[in-house]
Structure 1
Amino acid sequence: MKQTVDILGIPFYNVSQSTFVDELIEAAANQERRFVVTANPEIVMHTKQDMAFNHAVLQADYIVADGIGVVKAAKSIGKPLEGRVTGFDTMLGLLQKANEMKMSVYFVGAKPNVIKKLVKHVEQNYSDINIVGARDGYFLASEAEAVADDIFQSKADFIFLALGFPRQEKWISSYIEKFNKGIFIGVGGSFDVLSGCTKRAPEFWVKSNLEWLYRILSQPRRWRRALAIPKFVMAMKRQRKQR
């Protein structure tokens, strides 16, 4: 039975990055189905105002701590997590091992030019991976089921969705019962980074747990999203008092 830590009603899986990748690889090798949510404070707070999103997130097999804020929150209530388990690093780890095992992937999301560059990057750097499908995220709600049908027909081992939250989690929640296999994971802006269209924070910022600040400084339009952080901190203070 997996150990979880409750943060504002969201059960975070207590696992290390490397162990988590190994678990997902094993599940895929066994032809199993998994739904993964990588959540930061912003996502946690959004579950409080969007009940459909809340339902989608809680339907996941695994919810992991993508943000350092979640890791610090767990420590503050005396139930520390092993560390961050990010969508980007999970995707990289899965691609590496999927390449070694000659497994299949399907990419959904991002802009048309980004998905093209992503496919080219994967073909060049993970030559033994079988890319069984790739499409941008600019499809209508009326086309969502057709996308699910195409993924089903592809029999992909890993399905990476870069549709941004809450769309990617709601999409997975809506269609995952269609499938009897496949690792479904929402990875937000990871396609932009892996394709080279957007730079990830330099190593110093990542190791200093300031990747979130780097994103705001490099993409000022994200400042509104950062407002979720102080709200998360206040909500955690209330949770500690209740304990």
Structure 2
Amino acid sequence: MSKKVEVLGVEFDHTTKTETIQMLTKRLKARKKTFVVTANPEIVMYAQRDPEYKKIVQSADYIIPDGIGIIMGAKMLNNPLPERIPGFELMKDLLDVADREQLKVFFLGAKEQVLHKAINNIQQDYPGIHIAGYHHGFFKGNDPDIAKMVQAANPDMVFVALGFPRQEQWISQNSHLFSKGLFMGVGGSFDVLSGKVKRAPAIWRKLNMEWLYRLIKQPHRWKRMAFLPLFMLKVLRTK
């Protein structure tokens, strides 16, 4: 069990990306059911306002620091985390594991056209993966037919791209149907896998400025980015 670092009531795992992949691979091989949350400042702030959602996040087996704001916040609280672990990169590493181990993967979320393009690209880039199934994210509430479809596919991994809080809620509501499998909310990752959205160039990512690149490319995201200074202010007050 890794050390925990609390940031505004959410307990993050004190781990590197390499260590995380090793732990998750071990659990996959042991067929242990695993719930992973990649949390950024926006998710932490939402969890503060919504006790039920916070309970869901805290129920995860691993809470990973996705966002430079989390790293900065932990450092300000004198309890630093080793590194930022972007959710998209963690998902790509898990796809590498699935490719190598020939695992079954289910993809849930995004628009139908985007999802189909993402699946085509995954089949080309990861030929060892068994596509257990996929379904777009435009369904109402917690449709039991969707959950039954995923269950029938008997996947080793399930990537849920419904955006927070819905993706974590879906995993929490339906995890009792499964005896194994890694479940992880991946936000807009299918848009990137499909080629619809481009990631920031490597130099921006290395400088931890990916958030700024995305804001420049997608100005409509400014409301989401406004959470960062509010988050940092809350951390300062906590300190």
TM-score by length of 1: 0.96
1:104 and 2:104 equivalent?
yes
In the aligned structure 2, how far is the partner of 1:216 from the partner of 1:193? 15
For residues 1-243 of structure 1, the aligned pairs below 5 Å read 1-141=1-141, 143=143, 145-240=144-239
Distance in 2, matches of 1:66 and 1:57, equals 14
Which SS does the other structure have where 1:191 is aligned? helix
Q: Quick one: distance in 1 between partners of 2:2 and 2:18?
A: 16
Segments of structure 1 that go 5 or more residues without pairing to the other structure are: none
Separation of aligned partners in 2, 1:49 and 1:220: 26
**CA distance in 1 between partners of 2:173 and 2:99 (Å):** 29
Shift of 1:193: 0.6
Give 3-state SS (helix, strand or coil) of 2:36's partner.
strand
Q: In structure 2, how many angstroms separate the alpha carbons of the residues matched to 1:50 and 1:80?
A: 26
Letter in 2 for 1:56: I
The answer to whether the Cα contact below 8 Å between 1:52 and 1:170 also exists between their aligned partners in 2 is no
Amino acid at match of 1:224: K
Q: Which runs of 5+ in 2 are unaligned?
A: none
Alpha-carbon shift at residue 214 of structure 1 (Å): 1.2
What is the root-mean-square deviation of aligned Cα atoms in Å? Answer: 1.0
Q: Which amino acid aligns with 1:125?
A: D
Give the C-alpha shift of residue 219 in structure 1: 0.8
- Read off the aligned partner of 2:186 and give its amino acid letter: V
Structure 1 residue 91, shift from structure 2 partner: 0.7
**CA shift digits 1:11-64 (9 cap, x unpaired):** 000111121112111111111101111011111101111222112111111111
User: Match for 2:181: what amino acid?
Assistant: G
Cα distance in 1 for residues equivalent to 2:115 and 2:21? 23
Find the aligned partners of 2:130 and 2:220 in 1 and give their Cα distance. 36
After the TM superposition, list the runs of 4 or more consecutive aligned residues in structure 1 that deviate by more than 6 angstroms. none
- Return the TM-score normalized by structure 2: 0.97
Take 1:118 and 1:57, find their aligned partners in 2: how far apart are those partners? 27
Contact kept, 8 Å, 1:71 with 1:81, in 2: the verdict is yes
1:164 and 1:188 in contact (8 A); partners too: yes
Q: 1:142 deviation in Å?
A: 5.2
CA contact (8 A) 1:33 1:183 kept: yes
Equivalent-residue separation in structure 2 for 1:112 and 1:28 (angstroms): 28
Q: Which amino acid aligns with 1:20?
A: T
CA distance in 2, matches of 1:4, 1:156: 29
Q: Percent identity?
A: 42
Q: Distance in 2 between matches of 1:154 and 1:19?
A: 29
**Matched residue SS, 2:222:** helix
Mapped partners of 2:159, 2:217: distance in 1 = 25
In the aligned structure 1, how far is the partner of 2:97 from the partner of 2:220? 35
